Amino acid sequence: MPINAVINLYDLTRSELIALLESWGFSAYHGEKLFRALYQPGLSDLASLTEIRPDLHSQLLTQAALPQPTVKLATHSQDDLTRKYLLAMADGAAIETVIMEFTGRYTACVSTQVGCAMGCVFCATGQMGFHRHLSPGEIVAQVRFVAETLAGEGKNLRNVVLMGMGEPLHNYDATMAAIDILTDHAGIALGPRHITLSTVGVVPGIRRLAADD
C-alpha cells in the first residue's frame, strides 16, 4: 500500500484492523472497539464515530475512509419480490446488487468483480469482459447497503449469495476476507450457513477453498 494511501476500513478483517491500530500505537482493545463501531446500523462516515478516543478519531479522519456505494439505477420486478440496483463504487465502477424476497425472507445477491473473465456465453456479465476485482470492503458494502435498505422498511436481511457480477473464486482473497467480515460476531454477524458462494468451477479455487476449510 502506498505510504499516503487512504485506507478503506471496510477492507479490513477484525484482526487486520487491530494490527493496523497497533502499528499506530493503539492497543488491541481500541481495534476491537473500532471494529464493532464500524458495523453499527446507520453509520455513514468517520465523522459520525463518537465513541472512540479523540486522537484515534483524528488519525482516522486523515488516513482512512468509509466509502459508500451510490445508487445509479434501481428497478423492481412486477411482483416486487426482486429489486436490482446498479451501484457506483468510489472510482465510478458500476456493479449490480439484488435484493430477493422468498416466503418473507430477504437475500442479498452481491457482486465480487466488475465484469467477469470467465466468458460464459449465456451471461451478460461474461460478455462485458473483466475490468477489475472488487475489494473486500466493496463486497461488504453491498451487504451493508441491502441491510440498511431493508432496515429502513422494518425488515431483516437473512441470506447472502455471492452470485452477482464476477466469479468469486477468481477473486479468492477478497471474497474470503469479505466472508470473514460478514460472519464475524463483532461485524455483520451472519451465520456461515446463510452465505452461499456460486462458482462456474474454478478448480484451483475449489481446491484452495477445500484446503482452507
Using CA atoms in the order 136, 92, 150, 182, what is the torsion angle rounded to 10 degrees?
0
69, pLDDT greater than 70: yes
Residue 14: CATH number of its domain: 1.10.150.530
Domain extent at residue 21: 7-65
- Average pLDDT of the chain is 91
Whether 41 and 80 map to the same domain: the answer is no
Question: Which pLDDT belongs to residue 117?
Answer: 75
pLDDT at 116: 81
Confidence of residue 209 (pLDDT cuts 50, 70, 90): confident
pLDDT for 37 beyond 70: yes
State the average pLDDT over residues 198-206: 84
Question: Distance between CA 140 and CA 69 in Å, rounded?
Answer: 11
Whether residues 54 and 153 share a domain: the answer is: no
**pTM, rounded to two decimals:** 0.92
**Of the listed ranges 1-10, 16-25, 34-43, 200-209, the one predicted with least confidence:** 1-10
Query: pLDDT of 147-156, one tens digit each?
Result: 999 999 999 9
pLDDT number for residue 126: 65
Q: What was the pLDDT predicted at 204?
A: 81
The reply to whether 2 falls in a domain is no
- 35 is a domain residue: yes
Q: What's the pLDDT at 1?
A: 45
The pLDDT assigned to 128 comes to 77
Strands (E), the chain: 7-8, 64-65, 70-76, 82-88, 94-102, 105-109, 113-115, 130-133, 157-162, 195-197
Same domain, 127 and 114: yes
* Percentage of the chain lying above the pLDDT 70 cut: 96
